[in-house]
Structure 1
Amino acid sequence: MLKLSGTEVGFGRTTIVDDVTLSLDEGEIGCLLGPSGCGKTTLLRAIAGFEPVQGGRIELNGQLVSSPAQLVPPEKRGVGMVFQDFALFPHLTVFENIAFGIREQSQDEQKRRVHQLLDHVGLAGYGPRYPHQLSGGQQQRIALARALAPKPKLLLLDEPFSSLDAELRESLATEVRALLKEEGITALLVTHDQQEAFALADKAGVMYHGRLLQWDTPYGLYHRPAHHLVADFIGIGVLLHGSVTEDLKVDTVLGLLHGDEVQRGTEGEAVDVLIRPDDIVIDESSERRAKIVARGFRGAHFLYTAELQDGSHLICMAPSHHEYKVNQEVGLRLNMDHLVLFPAGYCDT
């Protein structure tokens, strides 16, 4: 449904989006993650047709819509868009807002579609109200319903939950995913919030300085990051220095670590190993000792920073029904299913 090949977007001599390649199949939900200013929204606008491309191509449903030599206008692309500020018409009712993009249909068809969408978004009966009479979450639902009314081939969402509180963002993201799947809509979301991406996306990618570092499932981004910046942006963790041994294990301050990933290494090679909080279990029976130097309460669990004998720090978590004190010595047990390795020093460049 959506295919980008070497897409480049810029203004004058400044490149904003640099050589981005990705694809979404029909009915899939994708997400672009990254810090502010990394080119996410510019790329979304290029897909919508609001920005020309300087290189590469964008295809929708097998048809070329953007290249340096061709630009299909936004209204000809069959693309819907939900903006960060909702962009509802304040002088129109909820019904009129949703029906705005299907005014060429008969009155009966408009009523049927609007009432269907109001029911889908849990706001049946809200048609006569005006946007100012709705909460932020309700306005977001109406903005989504309006974008879905014409049944677009592709729906683009630009930071759609950023103005909502954290709890509402997560619950609404889950609702939006269910609605998109029910409607069979292919969608691409832009956000800087990884929890939104995890709740919504089938495929996700991390952008940095205009480049797409990795396009994968959310699970793949977390467990198999292809770049240290992906590992840093998705989840939390630390990097421990190590070296590949003769029998293709990794010698670290935690001991010898092994996994299929090491088979690509060479003896003596210096590497950095990604250690996630869920890779470490506090276990008093373990001979591997560390000192708790910081902790953060997270409700169901504590997030602890533990200092190893060489001064290295690890982050680990444990259920909050047992509390460990700062400066307390604890035992650590490894719970690693696989290794994530980067060349030593690569993460400093």
Structure 2
Amino acid sequence: MPLLQLDKIHISFGTQHIVRGVSLQLEAGEIGCLLGPSGCGKTTLLRAIAGFQGLQLGTITMANECVSSANQLTPPEQRGIGMVFQDFALFPHLTVAENISFGMRKASAAERRARVDELLTRIGLPGYQKRYPHELSGGQQQRIALARALAPKPRLLLLDEPFSSLDAELRERLAVEVRELLKQEQITALLVTHDQQEAFAMADKAGVMYQGELLQWETPYQLYHQPRHQLVADFIGHGVLLQGTVNASGSLASPLGMLEHPSLLTVPDGTPVSFLVRPDDIVPDTNSRLRGRIKARGFRGAHNLYSVQLNSGIEVLTLSPSHEQMNVGDEVGLRPEFDHLVVFAADHCELPGFHDQAPLVRPFTPPVSTAPPAQPLPTSPKAKSA
């Protein structure tokens, strides 16, 4: 029995459809994450789970108890949910200990002290009981905000972009620490973010939202390696979509040459397709006949990320160890090295709905939704803008 289950929920503000037919579930102790650009509906979805927003269609169930439907809205304080906000929302006039124990009013003073001491030790801030929020760094404040949400031992924790005001290095480190803490506390959690690395560091399950629809809900590994929708492929990781044509032998004629994959045998001869190319699919190789010129280089620590324009004019990305640095303007040889191909229908803009854009090489049964029909998705959305 899942601890949290959303079944085809739909949320509208007037005539504007904000969330469309979203279904997902989290088992007890799992950490989930909703990814997507600003305005995609993920925060509205979080508010609905918390009880701050009603539904027009569908149901939200917690531990087999319906807490939201079109005709029912269980108050937030009766749901056993904790929340962590992106602005921390600590009380400036209260000490760290008073902030953490704020939601434990029914506990005795001894129980509150013991819980505060336990959580401060777990978040690596023992002895901070008497400090005030203005005496803490941003990362320390976020740890205290998390401890405050965990103190009453909620059955579900909701985190709304909790690390967005922190620098990138601290975000990634905190994401790992928060995951470890949630697992120690055995707390089920749902995180909203637009940062992929943050999501991958924390989540057991993750999903990508676009224009109110949940395009895919699976493990982070599956989102990255087995995207079921072109928008997911576009949003997750650095990559480009190239065009090609499948021939009768099951090969893919492409700007990178002839690509082979057994699954392509199921695709009709002559089918135009687009396929996903990520930086780890392209390997620099001085002996390769596929040539290009470096247009840009980005330093990533252990490796460099290069944008290479092929002689055909198409640009692809490739990785190379940073100690083997190549320069902008250099000609390089490239070798395709795919572990697997992710292939989509090329004429996606003419298909009636996004469910028809599942990879051609993987079977996919679209979910049935009772929500109002979605508007057609654009051919080239700017899904990466946050």
Relative to the length of structure 2, the TM-score reads 0.88
Residue type of the alignment partner of 1:285: N
Q: More deviation in 199-208 or 4-13?
A: 4-13
Q: Deviations over 1:220-252 (max 9, x none)?
A: 111111111111111111111100110112111
After superposition, the Cα gap between the structure-2 partners of 1:260 and 1:31, relative to the gap in structure 1 and judged at 3 Å, is farther
Q: Equivalent of 1:316, from 309, 318, 323? A: 318
Q: Report the count of equivalent residues.
A: 349
2:224 matches 1:232: no
Conserved? CA contact 2:249–2:265, under 8 Å: no
Question: How well do the aligned residues superpose, as a CA RMSD in angstroms?
Answer: 1.2
Q: How far apart, in 2, do the equivalents of 1:147 and 1:288 lie?
A: 55
Which range moved further: 184-193 or 299-308? Answer: 299-308
Which structure 2 residue ranges, 5 or more long, are not aligned? 350-377, 380-386
Stretch deviating more after TM superposition (254-263 or 183-192) = 254-263
Q: CA deviation at 1:321?
A: 1.0
Once the two structures are TM-superposed, the CA of residue 185 in structure 1 deviates from its matched residue by 0.4
Aligned: 1:113 with 2:115: yes
Query: Counterpart in 1 of 2:370?
Result: none
Contact 1:261 1:341 in 2 (8 A): no
Q: In the alignment, residue 32 of structure 1 is paired with which amino acid?
A: L
Match of 2:253 among 245, 251, 274: 251
Note if 1:104 corresponds to 2:106. Answer: yes
Pair 1:178 & 2:158 matched: no
184-193 or 296-305, larger mean C-alpha shift: 296-305
306-315 vs 131-140, which moves further: 306-315
Contact 1:244 1:250 in 2 (8 A): yes
Q: Which of 5, 15, 18 matches 1:16? A: 18
Structure 2 residue 129 is the aligned partner of structure 1 residue 127:
yes
**AA in 1 matched with 2:133:** P
Amino acid of the structure 2 residue aligned with 1:167: E
Corresponding residue for residue 339 of structure 1: 341
Other-structure match for 2:264? 262
8 Å contact 1:82–1:144 — kept in the other structure? yes
* TM-score, normalising length: structure 1: 0.97
CA contact (8 A) 1:261 1:340 kept: no
How far, CA to CA, are the matches of 2:104 and 2:167 in structure 1? 31
Q: Deviation per CA, 1:172-209, whole angstroms, max 9, x where unpaired?
A: 00000000000000000000100100110000001111
Aligned positions of 1:47-126 closer than 5 A = 47-126=49-128
Identity %: 63
1:316 counterpart SS class: strand
Deviation at 1:328, TM superposition (A): 2.0
Partner Cα separation in structure 2 for residue 345 and residue 163 of structure 1: 40
| Secondary structure of 2:139's aligned partner | helix
How far apart in 1 are the matches of 2:262 and 2:59?
37
Whether contact under 8 Å (1:293, 1:306) holds in the other structure is yes
Greater Cα offset, 74-83 or 328-337: 328-337
How far has the Cα of 1:306 moved from its partner?
Answer: 1.6
Q: Which moved more, 1:246-255 or 1:28-37?
A: 246-255
Hey, what does 1:206 align to over in structure 2?
208
Give, as a single letter, the amino acid of the residue that structure 1 aligns with 2:243: H
Following TM superposition, the consecutive aligned residue runs of length 4 or more in structure 1 with deviations greater than 3 angstroms are: none
